Amino acid sequence: MAPALEVVDVVKAYDRKLAVDRVSLCVEPGEVFGLLGPNGAGKTSLIRMIVDITRPDSGSIRVLGQTMTPALKDRMGYLPEERGLYQKQKVFDVLVFLGQIKGLARHVAAARAESTLDRFGLFASRRKNMRELSKGNQQKVQLAAVLMHEPALVILDEPFIGLDPINRELVIQLMKEAAARGTAIILSTHLMDQVELLCTRAYLINEGRGVLSGTVREMRERFADNAVLVETDADLAKRPEVERAQAVNGLQKAWLRTTPEQFLGGLVRDGAIIRHFERALPSMDEVFIRAVRGGAP
Partner 1 sequence: MKKALVVARHEFLTTVKRWSFLIVTFGLPLFMLVVMGASLLLQKESMREEEGKIAKAKIGFVDESGLLVKKARDSWKPYPTRDEARATMRADGVQIVVVVPAEWLRDGRLDVYSTIPPSLFTMNDSLVAPEFRDYLVSCVLREDDPARLARAKVPIASTVPVYLAETTGGVSREERPQDYLQRMISGVTFFFLLFISISVSGGYLIQGMADEKENRVMEMVISSVTPEQLLTGKLIGLGAVGLLQVAIWSALGVGTAISMAFTFVVNPALFVFCTVFYLLGYVLYGSLLLGVGSLGSNQRESTQLTWFITVTVMSPVFVWVSILSSPQSALARVFTYIPLTTPTTMMLRYSVDPRGTPWWEVALAIAVLIGATALSIRVSAKLYRMGLLLYGKRPAVREIWRWLWA
For residue 163, the minimal CB distance to partner 1 (Å) is 17
For residue 210, the minimal CB distance to partner 1 (Å) is 23
Is residue 48 a contact point for partner 1 (CB under 8 A)?
yes
Question: Which is nearer to partner 1, 184 or 256 (by Cβ)?
Answer: 184
Parallel, antiparallel or unpaired: strands 5-14 and 17-27: antiparallel
Question: Which is nearer to partner 1, 71 or 166 (by Cβ)?
Answer: 71
Q: Side chain identity at 207, as an amino acid letter?
A: E
Parallel, antiparallel or unpaired: strands 58-63 and 66-67: antiparallel
Question: Binders of partner 1: how many residues, by CB under 8 A?
Answer: 31
Is residue 277 a contact point for partner 1 (CB under 8 A)?
no
In the set 6, 52, 150, 207, which binds partner 1 (CB under 8 A)? 52
Question: Which is nearer to partner 1, 53 or 268 (by Cβ)?
Answer: 53
Q: Apex CA 190: angle with CA 219 and CA 63, to 5°?
A: 75
Neighbours of 253 (CB within 10 A): 17
Is residue 150 a contact point for partner 1 (CB under 8 A)?
no
In the set 26, 29, 100, 136, which binds partner 1 (CB under 8 A)? 100
CA 292 to chain CA mean position, Å: 17
Question: Which is nearer to partner 1, 102 or 239 (by Cβ)?
Answer: 102
Is residue 88 a contact point for partner 1 (CB under 8 A)?
yes
Is residue 70 a contact point for partner 1 (CB under 8 A)?
yes
Buried b (16+ CB within 10 A) or exposed e, 118-150: ebbebeebbeeebeebeeebbbbbbbbbbbbbe
In the set 63, 145, 192, 227, which binds partner 1 (CB under 8 A)? 145
Is residue 98 a contact point for partner 1 (CB under 8 A)?
yes
At 60 the three-state DSSP class reads strand
List, as one string, the DSSP characters of 213-269.
Answer: EEEHHHHHHHT--SEEEEEESS-GGGSTTEEEEEEETTEEEEEESS-HHHHHHHHHH
Spell out, one character per residue from 102 to 141, where the chain touches partner 1: x when CB under 8 A holds, - when not.
xx--------------------------------------
Question: Which is nearer to partner 1, 69 or 173 (by Cβ)?
Answer: 69
DSSP state of 123: G
How far apart, in whole angstroms, are the C-alpha atoms of residue 51 and residue 228?
43
How far apart, in whole angstroms, are the C-alpha atoms of residue 238 and residue 85?
62
Query: Could you list the residues that contact partner 1 (CB under 8 A)?
Result: 15, 48, 51-55, 70, 73-74, 76, 78-80, 82-89, 97-98, 100-103, 142, 145-146
